[in-house]
């Protein structure tokens, strides 16, 4: 059994060697079978016309990158409302989602003592005003001393200050909206006793949402204020949202090698919420480079090259550097100009200075 297996292996090896020899002998015919019809037909013609090739014209394209990141949304303005003074709550106008304009009263405290203090200060100010006017008249007639007149003026100024202070204390019995915005859930109820500085509610201006995310430092040269962005959020079914970059941080974080970037998204329908997550996508523009079919690339001598057809119909190698692949085409960096003719079929027979026979006529800029 073992001897029979060895004979089978020897027979198979001999058959493979014979097949390889036949393929080598008829290699030209086999290659012709795999060539495009245009090249195969031209190969059977006059060889003096040059190597038959298919070409494409070099075009220029912007090396645009698409970048996506997850960021967090913030309100355009956001504060925590706090009690301006202590006392008993007598009225709460705050309701979740309710819109207020700047200056609207959100909360009132009991102000009986403060109203009495204002009335007392007004009475003292009225008396001081009369005294000041009386001593002014006496001074004009020379029947009073300068010291008495100065005392009357001082009492008048003190009365005015005391009245202003009493009115300010009365004003602190009300909490007003600092800007146009929407209140959150109130943390107090009518009848509660609070002290100055206690949290009352959150308050946001949601007319615009600020989305902050991290951008790798390598992409910073491509990013600038005003660059359009697209965003989506699972917190809303509003679809794709449009915005723009409005701020770029002044430094790169040493630990993450990223910079903080802020995008602003209009929120006129008020469907977006601060604190929600957003997926932000940016199309980052880059420099313009030659773009050509990927088939035109050839690896030779440890470098990438393409074959350019010059004005005399001869082929010349041009070394290039690959920038990016894009759907069957490649963006490269090298001494190529828009409109240069590049060989895409027939590369195996290219030699420097060899004449070529172009079998197609690509449209200008076609790749």
- Condensed to tens digits (0 to 9), the pLDDT of residues 232-256 reads 998 888 889 999 999 999 999 999 9
pLDDT single digits (tens) 214-232: 999 999 999 999 999 999 9
Confidence of residue 23 (pLDDT cuts 50, 70, 90): low
Pairwise pLDDT comparison (47 vs 191), residue with the higher score = 191
CATH superfamily of 68-76+204-284: Efflux pump adaptor protein, beta barrel domain (2.40.30.170)
Predicted confidence at residue 206, as pLDDT, reads 93
- Give the pLDDT confidence score for residue 96 in this predicted structure: 86
pLDDT of residue 44: 47
Name residues whose C-beta falls within 8 Å of residue 158's C-beta, 6 or more positions apart in sequence.
128
Q: Where are the domains of the chain?
A: 1-34, 39-63+287-367, 68-76+204-284, 82-194
What is the residue-averaged pLDDT of the chain?
A: 86
Q: 71 has which bridge partners?
A: 278
Secondary element (H or E) of residue 279: strand 277-284
- What does the pLDDT read at residue 25? 54
pLDDT band, residue 1 (cuts 50/70/90): very low
Q: Would you put residue 353 in left (φ > 0), alpha (ψ -120 to 50) or beta?
A: left
CATH classification (class only), 82-194: mainly alpha
Q: What percent of the chain has pLDDT over 70?
A: 85
Lowest-pLDDT choice from 77-91, 211-225, 270-284, 346-360: 346-360
pLDDT of residue 22: 56
What confidence score (pLDDT) does residue 28 get? 47
Mean pLDDT of 326-354: 91
Asked if the model's pLDDT at residue 18 lies above 90, the reply is: no
Task: Give me the architecture of the 39-63+287-367 domain, per CATH.
Answer: Beta Barrel (2.40)
Answer whether residue 191 shows pLDDT above 70: yes
Angle at 123 between CA 119 and CA 124, to 5 degrees: 120
Read off the pLDDT of each residue in 42-48 and give the average, rounded to a whole number: 47
| DSSP assigned state of 14 | H
pLDDT of residue 49: 67
Which of the residue ranges 277-281, 305-309, 324-328 would you say has the lowest mean pLDDT?
324-328
């Amino acid at each position: 059994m073992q001897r029979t297996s060895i004979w089978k292996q020897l027979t198979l090896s001999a058959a493979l060697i014979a097949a390889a020899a036949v393929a080598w002998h008829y290699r030209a015919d086999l290659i012709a079978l795999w060539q495009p019809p245009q090249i195969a037909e031209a190969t059977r013609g006059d060889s003096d016309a040059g190597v038959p090739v298919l070409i494409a014209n070099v075009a220029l394209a912007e090396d645009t990158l698409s970048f996506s990141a997850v960021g967090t949304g913030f309100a355009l303005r956001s504060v925590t409302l706090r009690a301006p003074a202590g006392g008993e709550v007598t009225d709460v106008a705050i309701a979740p989602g309710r819109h207020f304009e700047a200056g609207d009263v959100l909360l009132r405290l009991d102000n009986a003592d403060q109203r009495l203090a204002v009335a007392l200060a007004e009475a003292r100010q009225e008396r001081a005003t009369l005294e000041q006017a009386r001593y002014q008249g006496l001074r004009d007639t020379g029947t009073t001393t300068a010291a008495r007149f100065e005392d009357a003026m001082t009492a008048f100024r003190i009365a005015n200050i005391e009245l202003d202070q009493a009115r300010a204390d009365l004003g602190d019995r009300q909490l007003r909206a600092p800007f146009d915005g929407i209140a959150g859930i109130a943390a107090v109820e009518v009848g509660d006793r609070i002290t100055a500085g206690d949290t009352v509610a959150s308050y946001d201006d949601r007319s615009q949402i600020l989305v902050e995310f991290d951008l790798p430092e390598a992409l910073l040269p491509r990013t600038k204020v005003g660059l359009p962005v697209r965003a989506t959020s699972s917190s809303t079914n509003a679809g794709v949202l449009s915005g723009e970059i409005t701020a770029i941080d002044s430094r790169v974080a040493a630990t993450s090698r990223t910079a903080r970037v802020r995008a602003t998204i209009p929120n006129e329908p008020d469907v977006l919420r601060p604190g929600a997550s957003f997926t932000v996508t940016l199309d980052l523009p880059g420099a313009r480079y030659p773009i050509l079919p990927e088939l035109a690339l050839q690896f030779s001598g440890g470098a990438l090259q393409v074959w350019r057809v010059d004005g005399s119909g001869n082929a010349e190698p041009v070394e290039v550097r690959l920038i990016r692949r894009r759907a069957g085409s490649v963006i490269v960096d090298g001494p190529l100009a828009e409109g240069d003719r590049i060989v895409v079929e027939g590369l195996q027979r290219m030699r420097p200075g060899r004449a070529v026979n172009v079998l197609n006529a690509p449209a200008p800029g076609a790749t």
